[in-house]
Amino acid sequence: MIALPPPKPEVLARRDEIVAGLRAIVPGDGVIAEPIRLRPYETDGLSAYRQPPMAVVLPSSTEQVAAVMRFLHGNGVRVVPRGAGTSLSGGALPLEDSVVIGLMRMNRILDVSFPDRLAVVEAGVTNLGITKAVEGEGFFYAPDPSSQLACMIGGNVMMNSGGAHCLKYGVTANNLLGLTFVTVEGEVVEIGGGHLDAAGYDYLGLITGSEGQLGIVTEVTVRILRSAEGQRAMLAAFRSTEVAGEVVDAIMASGVIPVALEFMDRPCIHACEAFAHAGYPLDAEALLIIEVEGSVEEQDALLESIRAICDRFDPISTRVAASAEESLAIWKGRKGAFGAVGRISPDYLCMDGTIPTGELPLVLRRIGEMSEAYGLKVANVFHAGDGNLHPLIMFDANDPDSFRKAEEFGADILKLCVEVGGCLTGEHGVGVEKRDLMGVQFLPPELEQQRRVKEAFDPGWLLNPAKVFPLQGALAPAGH
Amino acid sequence: MSGERLAPADEAGIAAAVRAAREAGTPLMVEGSGTRQGMLRPVQAARTLSTRALTGIVLYRPQEMVIAARAGTPVEEIEAALQERGQRINAEPPDLRSLLGTEALPPPTIGGTVATNLSGPRRIAGAAVRDLVLGLRFVNGAGEVLRSGGRVHKNVTGLDLCKLLSGSHGTLGVVTEVTLKVAPAGERTATLAIPVADEAAGVAVLSAGLTSPYGVTGAAMLPAGMEAAGVAGPVALLRLEDVAASVAYRLGRLAAMLPGGRAVEEEGSRALWRALRDATPLAAAAGEGVWRLSLRPSAAPAAVAALRAAGCRALLDWGGGLVLTAGPATEASHAAVAAAARGTGGTFTLLRAPESLRAARDVLPPEAPALAALSARVKAALDPAGILNPGRMWAGG
């Protein structure tokens, strides 16, 4: 288990006073302090870690967030920002002496401009909610994390979320224009706006992916894009993961970049097929899902050239969708992968390292060896075009030894990702989950530099403490 | 201005020079090949530290779409290596020597390109330079050699100092090596050139192109009186780059949607967009001022009208969202630029002007007090002694 810092006794002792102060700012039912009602906030998508906060506050405006921050800052209270709570790395895990600021009531779409190709939304609007607001005009918001039905744009900004289609359209950071940002002292700051490439330091880029370490985002201006005329997927099944890895390289080198290029290994294929009945070939060791965009004629031409590449590698089978419905069927298994694995194992840890794509065969082989050594099953599903792996390590949460081994197995996979030239996390964030592995990727002076930048925003280490930065270190957070 | 010029041969030399400067408390003017030293505010420093001697591509994996080069490597050398494998830098970084009157200097470096984060026409569909920076090696103001990011496309590990360093104009660190995401170059290219009456009509045409499903990768407008590669304004320009069949098909669809234009194909199109990228049609004369405004595209026609009233001429890129303007290097023109940016909620950058104007006026929009305080703390977090390009972006900062 990953250690959390001890609560500040002087803050716990003033709990009632702090709750009353919050109620004075956010009236009605916007402050939660009853233990039973705090339970839904005790964890996020990393459900092995649970800790109810001291209180939850649900502001409904930027002004309320600013007033809450001024009050909490003045009282030295730790703050954990929260969107939908779908973080897979424990990014929204509370501390005992913290106040959770939940942004789900800030769910208004404030402005949409098609001529300027942007939308201004509050932080609690869901990822899919943005696309829903603009799809009538043929537009969409590009980053599409698997949790897009539930996850909120504020959380997407904080984690710099990706998704299956970021191979073509980029991640959250590449699709933002502006932020309304509340500092730890409760000042409201406008970053960027409706234009590209604001002058001055790139706070938009620095805040994106900062995991709540720098401040609270309350409004977001996103780019919206016109959808392509259509899209269609194909499946290609191969006899070994090595061969499928070579196919990925060959496609990427061909000059035709698909909008999505997804990879599943045998355990994942079987789990998804049992769950979704998508027609996946069960004799394959590796399956690729490849999607292209354009007019029907363009789709045909692109899929034909990709099929020709696949054919050079002796596929078990290839299947090109003939219609949008067949494409959906192909995607159905992949989109349900996490749920499918959840059906065959009581619990799983979803890892998120990135590797240079050329290292894929080596990394998959090593993960297979680790799986045997730990005695834990693993299913691999990942965004192959950009090397972002999602090994799903299956374990039994009722067995402490099984959980400990799963965490060690996960850490070994992430160390391997760094060893071959990759990184600890491609899109889920460091959170608490990977915090103590930061020293694997960064040298001490590099971590110190990041800490000093964090301190420029949050000198008292009140914002989302115990996440991202290891608790030890020369510049250890105050109170640790 | 700079007296002694240092150009160490390696990263350790850069770090040693920064440490020495810190110990002596003497500021450094940081540069690559120096082609953009006339941008923003003049730096008061006894010494210049250049990364121009740090050259060479250190890693290129076409199938992983990644390239890494030392900071002093000319952008054109990187682009030549990419072209051999049918790839490109999607941000289309400009060579501004002609615009900035620095033709006599060697070509821009990749380090300077990251430090200034200036992107070309494809920014509207592709990415800014900062979006493509996967990893950096840099020397902070304490003389420490640090890394941020890496060489993989998706990486959210820790704070993204790559983005913080990009566009920080050498004030936070000296970039020594850059790892970039690259992209396929597109088999064919063509531009639909549509004559338009004025900026309002031009921006409407560009918007129609950019809100079409046809994957436009350039959307610029040459005004009346400007010409590039044989295409004379006023004209709206929409570019396509893709596999041959797609370019032919989409060009037909765009032409049907926006009648009255003509197609400029292949080398003609490439020459046209090189000129737009480098803003050569502005033909800025010695002694003139040059500014760059980034706005909501719909605000561009009014902004251009205001700039014209102040005696400036302007061309539009990014569907109208980027206005490049040249005119008298006077307080009045500068005030008109700043007002046009402020009035539209946009931003501006002073690219070229006599030192007297650059030293006397805000060269970027002033930051709100809370943001300015933050910038001072961020600067101190990376450059505690304030020795790297002091005063480049803001007076005293």
Cβ separation of B156 and A257 shorter than 8 Å? no
d(CA A209, CA B299): 30
pLDDT for res A324: 87
Nearest CA to CA, how far is A184 from chain B (Å)?
11
- Show the beta-strand stretches assigned E in A321-437: 347-350, 378-383, 388-395
Mean pLDDT lowest for which of A9-18, A248-257, B70-79, B236-245?
Answer: A248-257
Task: Identify each DSSP E strand in chain B by its residue range.
Answer: 4-6, 28-31, 47-50, 57-61, 66-70, 87-88, 133-140, 145-149, 173-181, 183-184, 188-195, 218-222, 227-228, 231-232, 235-242, 262-265, 288-294, 313-317, 322-328, 347-352
Q: How far apart are CA A164 and CA A142, in angstroms?
A: 10
pLDDT value of position A475: 43
- Interface TM-score (ipTM) > 0.85: yes
Helix (H, G, I), strand (E, B) or coil at A414: helix
DSSP state of B307: H
Q: Which of B157, B166, B205, B298 to mutate to test the interface with A (most CBs of A within 10 A)?
A: B157
d(CA B184, CA A256): 7
Q: What is the pLDDT of residues B35-89, one digit of tens each?
A: 999 999 999 898 999 999 999 999 999 999 999 999 999 999 999 999 999 999 9
Q: What's the pLDDT at A197? A: 93
Confidence bin at A342 (pLDDT 50/70/90): confident
Residue B252 with chain A: CB contacts under 8 Å: none
* A47 contacts A40 by C-beta, under 8 angstroms: no
pLDDT at B25 over 80: yes
Burial class for B23, CB neighbours closer than 10 Å (0-12, 13-18, 19+): exposed
Closest approach of B303 to chain A, Cα-based (Å): 14
What pLDDT does B44 receive?
87
Partner residue opposite A426 with nearest CB, options B156, B211, B321: B156
Q: Sort out which chain A residues have CB atoms less than 8 A from B113's CB and list them.
A: none
pLDDT tier for residue A164 given thresholds of 50, 70 and 90: confident
pLDDT of residue A173 exceeding 80: yes
- Express each pLDDT in B124-144 by its tens digit: 998 999 999 999 999 999 999
Q: What is the pLDDT of residues A246-283, one digit of tens each?
A: 999 899 888 888 999 999 999 999 999 998 898 999 99
Please answer yes or no on whether B382 and A452 come within 8 Å at the CB atom: yes
pLDDT band at B291 (very low <50, low <70, confident <90, very high): very high
- What percentage of chain B carries pLDDT values higher than 70? 99
pLDDT digits (tens, 9 = 90+) for A364-402: 999 999 999 999 999 999 889 899 999 999 999 899 999
User: What DSSP character marks residue A478?
Assistant: T
User: Tell me, what DSSP letter sits at residue A125?
Assistant: S
pLDDT digits (tens, 9 = 90+) for B316-366: 999 999 999 999 999 999 999 999 999 999 999 999 999 999 999 999 999
User: Does the pTM exceed 0.95?
Assistant: yes
| CB neighbours of residue A82 within 10 Å | 28
Q: What is the CA radius of gyration of chain A?
A: 23
Identify the DSSP state of A356. Answer: -
Q: Do B156 and A445 touch (CB under 8 A)?
A: no
Concatenating the DSSP letter of every residue in B258-299 gives STT-EEEEHHHHHHHHHHHHHTGGG-PPTTEEEEEEE--GGG
CB contact under 8 A, B61 and A198: no
- Cα–Cα distance for residue pair A394/A79, rounded to 1 Å: 32
- pLDDT tens for residues A61-87? 999 999 999 999 999 999 999 999 999
Structure tokens at A477: 């957070």
* A257 bridge partner residues: none
Cα distances from A345 to residues A146, A267, A336, A367, A397, in angstroms, run 20, 12, 14, 18, 10
- DSSP 8-state assignment for residue B64: G
Nearest to B152 among A253, A423, A442 (CB): A423
Q: How far apart are CA A479 and CA A301, in angstroms?
A: 61
In whole angstroms, what is the distance from residue A255 CA to residue A305 CA? Answer: 11
Residues of chain A with Cβ-Cβ distance to B246 below 8 Å are 294, 298, 301
Q: Would you mind telling me the total number of residues written for chain B in this entry?
A: 397
What is the spatial distance between Cα B214 and Cα A356, in angstroms, rounded to a whole number?
Answer: 31
Question: Burial of B9 by CB count in 10 Å (0-12 exposed, 13-18 middle, 19+ buried)?
Answer: exposed
Mean pLDDT in residue range B107-131 = 97
Residue B346 contacts A, CB cutoff 8 Å: yes
Q: How many Cβ atoms from other residues are within 10 Å of residue B225's Cβ?
A: 10
Question: Least CA distance to B384: which residue of chain A?
Answer: A452
pLDDT, tens only, A348-359? 999 999 999 989
